């Protein structure tokens, strides 16, 4: 039985802090159970607000961050120092966790234009890294929590409606993102859905139609968010403004 849950919070700030508390606890539980935690981060307005909330969550001091691997669900294929980089926006979290034992070798950023000539090469390198850290025979680590933002068009990671899809596992290059910048690297839906728990982070009235649409039948092409499902749980962590059509 795969748990499916919708939790409605007052506003974006309350949602970010609620997710942060849930994430710190989930990471502590994963380490207690398996000695390691694999967490996939997301960019976007609520995604980055959540990372800032983790950086100030009092319970963070109780986690052995040296046992945490951070991954990305998607990244913009731009220079590493670009303000468009999800990883750069997350530095607020990593700087806070540096003081708590975080090993930067376990913060796995997706490639930038400084390192690779094309997004395909960056995606191939990330696919290889996922496999390198995976259990025997698997394409990627068993992610304990995989977080995704969702756009008003129901895109998740950099998987946009009615765009080319890959049935592969790993990461793929995206060149025609309707949301700038156009060139990106994204986990595929298959890899997203290999996670134990997938959390969708949704805030804002402009997301209400897509959030409602994603609760109906699966339609990966037109409503990518509708196709997201963790192997153990799928949690929609939303604010009141986004939930008005549920
Ligand atoms: O471009 C992106 O957009 C999505 C959603 O962002 P949001 O601001 O509408 O929440 C984000 O999850 C993704 O990481 C990012 O690359």
pLDDT at 210: 98
Bridge partners for 74 per DSSP:
186
pLDDT at 163: 86
Q: Distance from the CA of 23 to the center of ligand 1, in angstroms?
A: 19
Spacing of C-alpha 104 from chain mean position: 18
Boundaries of every domain in the chain? 8-226
Q: Give the model confidence (pLDDT) of 33-59 as tens digits.
A: 999 999 999 999 999 999 999 999 999
Nearest in space to 210 (alpha carbons), one of 231, 195, 225, 189? 225
Give Dmax over CA atoms of the chain in angstroms: 45
Q: How confident is the model at residue 106 (pLDDT cuts 50, 70, 90)?
A: very high
Question: Do the beta carbons of residue 86 and residue 128 sit within 8 Å?
Answer: no
Kindly tell me the sign of the dihedral angle through the C-alpha atoms of 92, 98, 101, 105: positive
Q: Distance from the CA of 75 to the center of ligand 1, in angstroms?
A: 10
Query: With a 6 A CB cut-off, is 181 part of the ligand 1 pocket?
Result: no
Q: Which residues contact 71 (CB under 8 A, 6 or more apart)?
A: 38, 39, 40, 41, 108, 130, 141, 143
Q: Is the pLDDT of residue 165 over 90?
A: no
Q: What is the CATH number of domain 8-226?
A: 3.40.50.1360
Question: Do the beta carbons of residue 17 and residue 48 sit within 8 Å?
Answer: no
Ligand 1 atom with least separation from CA of 179 = 1
CA torsion angle for 189, 227, 206, 47 (degrees, to 10)? -40
What's the pTM value of the predicted model, to 2 decimals? Answer: 0.97
Q: Distance from the CA of 157 to the center of ligand 1, in angstroms?
A: 7
Q: Give the model confidence (pLDDT) of 191-240 as tens digits.
A: 999 999 999 999 999 999 999 999 999 999 999 999 999 999 999 999 99
Question: Do the beta carbons of residue 237 and residue 8 sit within 8 Å?
Answer: no
Tokens of 134: 């995976």
Query: With a 6 A CB cut-off, is 43 part of the ligand 1 pocket?
Result: yes
Query: With a 6 A CB cut-off, is 224 part of the ligand 1 pocket?
Result: no
Give the residue-averaged pLDDT of 121-127. 98
CA distance 53 to 92: 10
CA distance 23 to 57: 10
Q: What share of the chain is helix, strand, coil (3-state, %, to 5)?
A: 35, 20, 45
Angle CA 36–137–119, to nearest 5: 80
Instruction: Give me the interface pTM, i.e. the ipTM.
Output: 0.96
Query: With a 6 A CB cut-off, is 45 part of the ligand 1 pocket?
Result: yes
Query: With a 6 A CB cut-off, is 206 part of the ligand 1 pocket?
Result: no
Q: Is the pLDDT of residue 99 over 80?
A: yes
């Amino acid at each position: 039985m795969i748990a499916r849950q919708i939790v409605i919070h007052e506003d974006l700030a309350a949602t970010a802090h609620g997710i942060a508390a849930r994430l710190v606890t989930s990471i502590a539980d994963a380490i207690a159970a398996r000695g390691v935690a694999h967490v996939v981060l997301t960019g976007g307005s609520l995604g980055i607000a959540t990372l800032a909330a983790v950086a100030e969550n009092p319970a963070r001091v109780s986690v052995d961050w040296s046992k945490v691997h951070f991954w990305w669900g998607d990244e913009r294929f731009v220079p590493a120092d670009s303000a468009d980089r999800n990883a750069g926006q997350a530095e607020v979290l990593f700087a806070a966790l540096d003081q708590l034992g975080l090993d930067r070798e376990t913060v796995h950023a997706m490639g930038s234009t400084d390192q690779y000539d094309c997004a395909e090469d960056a995606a191939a390198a990330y696919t290889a890294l996922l496999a390198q850290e995976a259990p025997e025979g698997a394409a990627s680590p068993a992610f304990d929590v995989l977080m995704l933002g969702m756009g008003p068009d129901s895109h998740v990671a950099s998987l946009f409606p009615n765009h080319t899809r890959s049935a592969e596992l790993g990461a793929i290059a995206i060149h025609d993102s309707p949301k700038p910048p156009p060139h990106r690297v994204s986990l595929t839906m298959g890899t997203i859905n290999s996670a134990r728990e997938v959390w969708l982070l949704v805030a804002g009235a402009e997301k209400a139609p897509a959030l409602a649409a994603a609760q109906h039948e699966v339609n990966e092409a037109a409503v990518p968010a509708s196709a997201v499902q963790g192997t153990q749980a799928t949690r929609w962590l939303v604010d009141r403004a986004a939930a008005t059509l549920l």
